[in-house]
Amino acid sequence: MIKEIRFMNWKSFSDAKVYIDPLNVLIGTNASGKSNIIDGIAFLNSAVQGRNLQAALDGESGSFLDGSIGAIRGGAEYAALFPGDQFTLEAVIQGEKTIEYRYSITVRTKPHVEVIAELLIKIMHKGKKPKEINLFSAYRNNEDSEYSSPIIPTFVNNGQGKPVRKDLKNFISVISQLKNHETIPEVSAAIQLVTENLEEIFILDPIPSLMRDYKPFAQHLSRNAANLAGMIAALPESKKLNFESQLTRCVSGLAEGEIVRVWTEPVGKFKKDAMLYCEEKWGRTGTTTAIDARGMSDGTLRFLGILTALLTRPSGSLIVIEEVDNGLHPSRAKLLLKTMIEIGTERKIDILITTHNSALMDELGAEMIPFIQVVHRDAEDGTSKITLLEDIKSLPKLLAHGSVGELSTKGEIERSLSLNGGLSNEK
């Protein structure tokens, strides 16, 4: 599983880390850098899949409607911290027991987008000092005679002390190319593990307006959850009934009226399109009302999209959701949080969310404080920082005057961080 992701000269960040645990909560004011974190994770996900790096930053026509990753906000022009023209993203992946892998990619954005460095290190935590093994490294600089060529020299560990050089393309990630090259088992296994973990990142942004129409059958949930009805309807009948039952149990207390059933039905002449329905029960008489997705609230559709992602993503993957509670009433924050924790724990899925909702922050409780990370701007240079909430020196004093939600609403957390000496320690 992914342990941490580091952002160096990425957008508004000079150097910062996000730590990944079963449930991770990013809080912070508008324009603090939370969206930039998600953009960086999205870029990593695209890069390891072998996507053209220019397209990964600037997007491709038609990508938004089919739910795939479109342009990174600001594209290549704003990807590197101003006034620079290159950035580095790094991920640490947990291997077996005491083994970790550190993968990093450095990209230059001008005059065109290209890889200028890429590295995969195996870290073995045995004894007092960790042992590191370079599995592959790729690099170029402005002085290279091959600077204007579309290749990047890559040196791959061959287990015999002298790395083997491979000349690879510099407009897609090196690690995605090495998956198709013959390497020693140690290198091959590491590449497989790292790419699987980063490829399985799922950045979910349910868009209710795209979920309301009839949708064709689909095998996987799209990133905007637009094909929710088609994905559920395409399941084998026995799995479909069980899945719809799970959705119903989780969503039953969301609306004012009790939701007693959620289901999909195939429609059309060839029965290859589908619509999403739900049934609500009202009053002592048990009057029921059935509606389709066109009549469902934004909050209900987003909640169903989140549930479906949690129930269908592979075990060990990471789901990232920006403004997770968007469209939900504050009184439903507890239900949302409880559902994410229960399903995430049961299915061994890590979840990274951003929120501005004080009600959700309050529902987290004291036991979740170690997993809340505050994104904020440096008072001197304006770069974005990421600070563990528990590392704020004055946190005990702040909590004596209000909950995390109240402190966030009043801006007390950011105010404390802006003061000199606001941290008890830096990580």
Q: Which of 222, 221, 372, 229 is nearest to 296 (CA)?
A: 229
User: Domain end: 275, 303, 331, which one?
Assistant: 303
What percent of the chain shows pLDDT beyond 70? 94
Does residue 47 sit in the same domain as residue 180?
yes
Q: Is the per-residue pLDDT at 251 higher than 80? A: yes
Q: Quick one: average pLDDT of 28-40?
A: 96
Q: Is the Cβ–Cβ distance between 33 and 13 less than 8 Å? A: yes
Of 13-27, 33-47, 175-189, 275-289, least confident by mean pLDDT is: 275-289
Residue 309 and residue 221 in contact, taking contact as beta carbons nearer than 8 Å: yes
In a shared domain, residues 55 and 187: yes
Give me the sign of the Cα torsion angle 336, 17, 44, 192. negative
Phi-psi region of 382 (alpha: psi -120 to 50; beta: other; left: phi over 0): left
- Kindly state whether residues 104 and 150 are assigned to the same domain: yes
Indicate whether 371 belongs to any domain: yes
Angle, in degrees to the nearest 10, between helices 298-312 and 333-347: 10
Confidence of residue 64 (pLDDT cuts 50, 70, 90): very low
In this structure, is residue 424 part of a structural domain? Answer: no
| Domain-embedded: residue 308 | no
Report pLDDT for 69. Answer: 53
Provide the pLDDT for residue 426.
44
Tens digits of residue pLDDT in 368-389: 999 999 999 998 899 999 999 9
Asked if residue 175 and residue 59 are part of one domain, the reply reads yes
CATH number of the domain that 91 lies in? 3.40.50
220-245: pLDDT as tens digits:
999 999 999 999 999 999 999 999 99
Quote the domain boundaries for residue 388. 2-204+315-418
pLDDT exceeds 90 at position 294? yes
Do 345 and 410 share a domain, yes or no? Answer: yes
Give the gyration radius of the chain's Cα atoms: 23
- Residue 20 tokens, joined: 């990944």
Kindly state the average pLDDT of the residues 347-362. 95
Is a pLDDT exceeding 80 seen at residue 420?
A: no
Binning pLDDT at 50, 70 and 90, where does residue 357 land? very high
Domain shared by 148 and 242, yes or no: no
In a domain, 392, yes or no: yes
Q: What are phi and psi of 165, to 5 degrees?
A: -85, 135
Q: How confident is the model at residue 255 (pLDDT cuts 50, 70, 90)?
A: confident
In terms of domains, do 193 and 293 share one?
A: no
Convert the pLDDT of each residue in 207-222 to its tens digit. Answer: 999 999 999 999 999 9
Beta bridge partners of 80: 10
379/358 same-domain check:
yes
Residue 142 has pLDDT above 70, yes or no: no
Q: Is residue 385 part of a domain?
A: yes
pLDDT of res. 423: 61
Are residue 78 and residue 141 in the same domain, yes or no?
A: yes
Last residue of a domain, one of 281, 303, 325: 303
pLDDT, position 192: 97
- Within this chain, do residues 136 and 268 fall inside the same structural domain, yes or no? no
Mean pLDDT of 363-367: 89
| pLDDT of 147 above 60 | no
Residue 427 lies in a domain: no
Q: Are residues 36 and 174 in the same domain?
A: yes
Q: Rounded mean pLDDT of 67-74?
A: 72
Whether pLDDT at 67 is above 60: no
Do 330 and 371 lie in one domain? The reply is yes
pLDDT mean across residues, the chain: 92
In a domain, 331, yes or no: yes
Last residue of a domain, one of 243, 274, 303: 303
Label residue 422 by pLDDT band (50, 70, 90): low
Provide the domain count of the chain: 2
Mean pLDDT, range 23-51, rounded to an integer: 96
pLDDT tens per residue, range 99-132: 999 999 999 999 999 999 999 999 999 888 999 9
Q: Which residues contact 2 (CB under 8 A, 6 or more apart)?
A: 20, 91, 92, 93, 94, 197, 198, 201, 318, 350
- C-beta of residue 293 within 8 angstroms of C-beta of residue 301: yes
Q: Which of 146-160, 189-203, 236-250 comes out lowest in average pLDDT?
A: 146-160
Q: What is the mean pLDDT of residues 160-166?
A: 93
C-alpha distance from residue 420 to each of 360, 380, 393, 415, 417 (Å): 29, 11, 11, 10, 8
